Amino acid sequence: MSTTLSKVAIVTGGARDIGRQVSLKLAKAGIKVCFNYLSDPKNAEETLALIKEAGGEAIGVQGDMTKAEDVKKLSAACVAAFGNKVDYLVNVTGGLLGRKVLADLDEAFWDAVIDVNLKSVYLVCREIVPMMDQGSSIVNFTSQAARDGGGGGAMAYAAAKGAVLTLTRGLAKELGPKGIRVNAVSPGMINTTFHNTFTKPEIRANVAAATPLKREGKPEEVADLVWYLLSDSSSFINGESVEINGGSFFA
């Protein structure tokens, strides 16, 4: 356990897959973690158990990060548990929700995809940034889809993640003078529930075969990158989006 026990992190979407590994990575570094989850208490309980087993300290808070009142609930719970200062913020919340081509892309679906991927980042940053001081840092989640337009039926998702990339750069300019860094990670094909749900096995196999490293990425590898970007090891990196895709795409 490190000596950063006074540090506090908020991780949205922090109960499963990449979010879980980010929560666990931070907790293992001695950081107190307040993670959010949407609807599955079992995932939250498992994540809390893993953190406790690793000697860390965390709370899990249910809420929909597309709703301002739930974001405030997350903030209040974190303040009650760990105080009113946040050192690290990781916005993992997001998702594809489904694959729809333009002809089938109804307005309600478009709005839902934009909200969960983009509005959530805006709402959480608006709420949490006032609790952050000089030396704090934020990592947002964009996607390889933001650069290449995404796979079939992922246009809305790609557009939302592209907007997260732009939002990250705008925040980096606005918050940099206050000593708060803002960066993003841009995963390619990572072995997660996301692809278990929305990507056919044969497509996953083809993508892995076409990747120079000949495999999918692991959630733990993304978590390692997130921690690097949060930490002082990356103290002069700001407004950047780092691709993590095994060499399948170069920005």
- Spatial separation of the C-alpha atoms in residues 207 and 249, rounded to whole Å: 11
- Helices and strands in the chain: count of H runs, count of E runs: 10, 7
**β-strand 32-37 against 88-91: which pairing, if any?**
unpaired
Apex CA 89: angle with CA 88 and CA 92, to 5°? Answer: 140
Quote the DSSP letter at residue 115: I
- Pairwise CA distance, residues 115 & 131, whole Å: 23
Dihedral of alpha carbons 8, 183, 222, 153, sign = positive
Q: How far apart are CA 240 and CA 179, in angstroms?
A: 15
Q: Which residue of the set 37, 122, 157, 228 is catalytic?
A: 157
Q: Known catalytic residue: 37?
A: no
Distance CA 60, CA 78 (A): 9
Q: In the numeric block, which tokens belong to residue 139?
A: 């990592």
Reference 94, options 17, 23, 152, 202; nearest CA is 17
* First-residue to last-residue Cα distance in the chain: 36
DSSP bridge pairs for 36: 61
CA distance 38 to 41: 8
Annotated catalytic residues are 157
